[in-house]
Amino acid sequence: MRIGKIFLGKLALGLVLLAAGRDANASVSSPSAIPESGGNAVDKRQIAIVIDDFGNGMKGTEQMLNLPIKLTAAIMPFLPTTKEDAEKAHRLGHDVIVHLPMEPVRGQKNWLGPGAITTDLSDGEIRKRVEAAIADVPHAIGMNNHMGSKATADKRVMRIVLQVCKEKGLIFLDSRTSFRTVVPAVAKEVGIETVRNDIFLDDVYTRQHALKQLQEVKKLLQKNERCVAIGHVGPPGLSTSDALRAVIPELKGKAEFVPLSALLSLPGPFTAQGLQSR
């Protein structure tokens, strides 16, 4: 079942966000496996829940921020509740990252919202926009891409984005909206550590679907030491937060919920498999 991909943001801004075509079947991947050492392997497992699309007074904002875990709030710049959401998330002990709107393969550029990174921009303009976005989101310790299947497959663009992140000491989380992502290669070149998304929780906007994806998270945690899962405020905000709340107690027995920054400086690269492009 697929539910409408396009939704309207706050009309005041005339902003249209594209809750892009997440493909449930393609959203599982296999990061580094745990060696069969036994012992307290379970204790080491970590799960980072990242919630995208804050900043525009989206549905489920309160419910997500008040979940009984440390999560990472990905907040879009230049929107009505950008600062409010960032302050609140920070106050509650969550990590804050910039949710940078980036050009998708499909869809119109003007759907992305203010300050978007598109592949037709000059080097100087891309740098200016990335710096402005970082400056607009208080407490940001990192960045991930909103949409971006085209921009994250563009080496010139990503070189600048990752270079600015490196200069500002920010983590980059590759949402992996394109299987052609150049982030791993360019990150190596630029010399910045990145993290990648393993699974989207709410390709379909129902509690049942989010619960199914959380079962996949459990399976990933049996094989891997750590897992990054992305959910959203907005159309799926209430159903996803509800599913998370239901499953958190059980997951807490299997892994520690950590903000994104806790995943860095761990041994072993995150390997990559393609997520559906968007």
Residue 53 in the binding site for Zn ion (CB under 5 A): yes
In the complex with Zn ion, the residue whose CB is nearer, 147 or 251, is: 147
Question: Closest distance between Zn ion and the C-beta of residue 195, in Å?
Answer: 16
Rounded Cα distance, 259 and 228, in Å: 10
Residue 103 in the binding site for Zn ion (CB under 5 A): no
Question: Closest distance between Zn ion and the C-beta of residue 37, in Å?
Answer: 37
Residue 61: which H helix or E strand, with range? helix 61-65
Question: Closest distance between Zn ion and the C-beta of residue 160, in Å?
Answer: 20
In the complex with Zn ion, the residue whose CB is nearer, 80 or 269, is: 80
In the complex with Zn ion, the residue whose CB is nearer, 146 or 150, is: 146
In the complex with Zn ion, the residue whose CB is nearer, 31 or 101, is: 101
The span of 46-54, 89-97, 135-143, 265-273 binding Zn ion (CB under 5 A) equals 46-54
In the complex with Zn ion, the residue whose CB is nearer, 45 or 232, is: 232
Question: Closest distance between Zn ion and the C-beta of residue 147, in Å?
Answer: 6
Question: What angle (nearest 5°) sits at the alpha carbon of residue 185, between those of residues 23 and 96?
Answer: 65
Structure tokens at 34: 């745990």
Rounded Cα distance, 54 and 80, in Å: 10
Residue 59 in the binding site for Zn ion (CB under 5 A): no
The span of 37-45, 126-134, 143-151, 201-209 binding Zn ion (CB under 5 A) equals 143-151
Select from 88, 94, 129, 146 the one that contacts Zn ion (CB under 5 A).
146
Rounded Cα distance, 276 and 181, in Å: 11
Question: Closest distance between Zn ion and the C-beta of residue 242, in Å?
Answer: 20
Rounded Cα distance, 77 and 19, in Å: 16
Q: Under rule CB under 5 A, how many of the chain's residues touch Zn ion?
A: 3
What count of residues does the chain have? 278
Contact at 8 Å (CB) between 65 and 90? Answer: no
Rounded Cα distance, 248 and 245, in Å: 5
In the complex with Zn ion, the residue whose CB is nearer, 81 or 224, is: 81
Residue spans of beta strands (DSSP E) within the chain: 6-8, 16-18, 46-54, 72-75, 95-102, 140-147, 171-174, 194-196, 199-200, 226-232, 256-257
Residue 52 in the binding site for Zn ion (CB under 5 A): yes
Burial of 184 (0-12, 13-18, 19+ CB in 10 A): middle
Question: Closest distance between Zn ion and the C-beta of residue 202, in Å?
Answer: 11
In the complex with Zn ion, the residue whose CB is nearer, 88 or 146, is: 146
Footprint of Zn ion on this chain (CB under 5 A)?
52-53, 146
